[in-house]
Chains A and B, each alone.
Chain A
Amino acid sequence: MSELALDVDGLGKNFGGLPAVRDVVLKVELGERHLLLGPNGAGKTTLFNLIAGDIRPSTGSIRLFGRDVTRMRTDQRTHMGVARTYQIITLFAESTLTHNVVMSLTGLSRCRFDPFTSLDRRTGFRERAREVLATVGLEHLADRKVSETSYGERRRLEIAMAMAQEPSLLLLDEPLAGLSADERGEVQRLLESIPRSVTIVMIEHDMDVALAFADRITVMQRGAVVVEGNRAEVVADPKTKEVYLGH
């Protein structure tokens, strides 16, 4: 068995008395494309928030690249190579697309502590940001404000900001949600172009894209893992149909 990028063991999170995630075991190998499926409220995004460090688990442990990160802050995990996109878009709305990506680049650079030199003078970051924007097809909008762009463009900017950090583990929370058919195709090609050195965990409801993309699939329901396996196993499992179609 090869080394694990992500090793979640017995993870649980209660909000008050309500268990949002229960005893989840999730093992993702290096370079794997792992898909999280499940109806709304199954706890997929909560699981993402636990892995990224936005919230602390009630029980269980999380290991990233063999290191226990259960009690580590979000920004520390980011410096270990975790990057994520959000289901609900969180961007700097009144800044340009370039500036958004620059903020992503400086987040991992030591210069983020520099209080004396102008950020605009650091042309290296701006050039790199434009290159990253070009990979998602947004270079023509580089100087436009986020508030003046379309929903689909913002989704792609979310991915650009995550990719700018050259992550080892990429967490994608519904990257295709709310996109037109054309835009879905573009984002799908973009995701396929990500090298295998990057491990990807994705939440997605678009079955055609998701199933084609994933190596392994975990189906969740009411906070717990119901089925786990490769594409054929999960599709063939009667419990999958039960989760999606009911009894």
Chain B
Amino acid sequence: MTARSGVWLVVMVVALVLVPVLIGSPFYVNLASQVLIYAILAMSLNLLVGFGGLTSLGHAAYLGFAAYVTIYLTTLAGFGQFSGALIALVATTGLAMLFGFLALRASGLGFLMITLALGQILWGLAFRWVSLTGGDNGLGGMQRPHPFGIDLGDPNAFYYFALCFFLVAFAGIALFVRSPFGHSLRGSRDQPRRMRALGYNVWFVQWCGFVYAGFWGAIAGILYAYYNQFVSPHALNLMTSAETLLMVIAGGAGTLFGPIVGAVLVVVLKNVVSAYIARWVMLLGAVFVMIVLFMPEGLVPGTTRWTKLALGRRRRAAGGGPGEATGTAAVQERSS
């Protein structure tokens, strides 16, 4: 199993590196950059939803907050690009510490509602505190940074810039999930009571998971700010949180590749299909209904299951040929 996911990893990295070469068109390269940014956001939410069992409807808070802070600091407050991004990262992680402290007072539906409420508070602030956030007009006028003299205004350069962060995020989250701490987060999801009796501080484990998810959400937010060079309350609204949650669930919560597949699906549908069909949200809805009907566990685990089933049937058909299959063997296979 690990060997197979290793192969998938290599395939994914090679494909991602070749994307600008294969596509060529700046529109689609920009689209790929968007996919990477949302994939980081979805992967970070997956830490909570999939591995922590903590379904959050307020994850846009970290994307939007980090984007607002980055743009505010670099355009209006006169900070440099690097220091602005760094402060945005620290501030957003701090916000996750506070939100985690508040939201983890409850679990299940209560947790969901608190994250939703906290996200809406930020959205309300961005919308109403016009002197700071520009209100409905948002904040703009930001320049993309020039790290090491590379102009990130070029679509290909920005794509590779985002790809670096994406790969680091993927590696960081993959390591986290397999680590002792990642296992304690999963254990706290499955058997919180037993985990306490085994010596784990379940609240603290979940809080750390929450903060870690907020950290990667902040990275996505800073990239979002660089990509759009503009931020409005849209980045903080409930629709963004819900879309991110849909990416995680559609792709496969609790898997490493699931949120990435989910991000590809949603971003491509949103940007490409909307050019042809005005009511693309209906199509998005239809796609999710199909996923829920045929692969309720999500696209990645669902495809794995269907593939195994198909391979097993083919093997059975090959094995059930002349002579070999005796009566009992056939019965055993059918029952298994």
Interface residues of A (CB under 8 A from B): 52-54, 73-75, 78-79, 83-84, 86, 90-94, 103-104, 106-109, 111-120, 122, 161, 165
Contacts and interface: CB of A to CB of B under 8 A. Distances in A.
B198 A107 contact: yes
Contact of B178 (A53, A84, A86, A119): A119
B178 to A, nearest CB: 4
Given A75-B201, A115-B175, A116-B175, A54 B182 contact: no
Given A75-B196, A75-B199, A78-B198, A106 B183 contact: yes
B180 A114 contact: yes
Q: Interface SS of chain B: helix, strand, loop or mixed?
A: helix
A120 to B, nearest CB: 7
Contacts of B202: 75
A118 B191 contact: no
Contacts of A91: 191, 194
Given A115-B182, A117-B179, A165 B196 contact: no
A115 B182 CA distance: 6
B196 A54 contact: yes
A113 B194 CA distance: 18
A86 B194 contact: yes
Contacts of A93: 190
A103 B198 contact: yes
5 contacts: A93-B190, A108-B199, A115-B212, A118-B179, A119-B182
A90 B198 CA distance: 11
A73 B187 CA distance: 18
A185 B5 CA distance: 45
Given A106-B184, A118-B178, 15 more contacts: A73-B196, A73-B201, A74-B197, A75-B196, A75-B197, A78-B197, A103-B195, A103-B198, A106-B183, A108-B199, A111-B180, A112-B184, A114-B181, A122-B180, A161-B198
Contacts of A84: 197
B160 interface: no
Q: Which 10 A-B pairs have the closest CB atoms?
A: A107-B198, A107-B199, A78-B199, A74-B196, A115-B181, A90-B194, A118-B178, A75-B201, A119-B180, A115-B179
B288 interface: no
B194 A165 contact: no
